[in-house]
Amino acid sequence: MLIVGALVLLTGSLYLIPALGKSLEKLAKWLGGFQAIIGIISIIVAILYFGSLASIVLLIVGLILAASVMSALPAVGKYIARLTKFLGAFQTIIGIIALIVGIFSIL
């Protein structure tokens, strides 16, 4: 989930990769259509496996991706919307960190 979320977060920057950039950009744009679903699944997986660095990064990625859905929650929606707006400013950096942590989690 980290790698999938990272691809969606890095949609605007993937074309810079020399050999695979255009293909990854197409994949990321297609996955971007499922952004809210990927975000919700990322949050659920992060909560289930909470305690590692990968789960914390996955939770942050999930919050950014599911910002539109999370802001609709009655009690905490406006606070989560503010948090995701703040984290959204660092979207590319968080995407790179998520991609690196995701690759190292596989290895």
Which tens digits make up the pLDDT trace of 45-86?
999 998 889 999 999 999 888 887 877 778 777 788 888 888
Residue 55: Cβ within 10 Å count: 20
Q: What is the pTM of this model?
A: 0.84
Containing domain of residue 73, as a range?
Answer: 2-106
Q: What are phi and psi of 52, to 5 degrees?
A: -115, 170
Domain count, the chain: 1
What is residue 56's predicted lDDT score, i.e. its pLDDT? Answer: 93
| Measured distance CA(91)–CA(97) in Å, rounded | 10
Report pLDDT digits (tens) over 11-35.
877 777 788 778 888 888 888 889 8
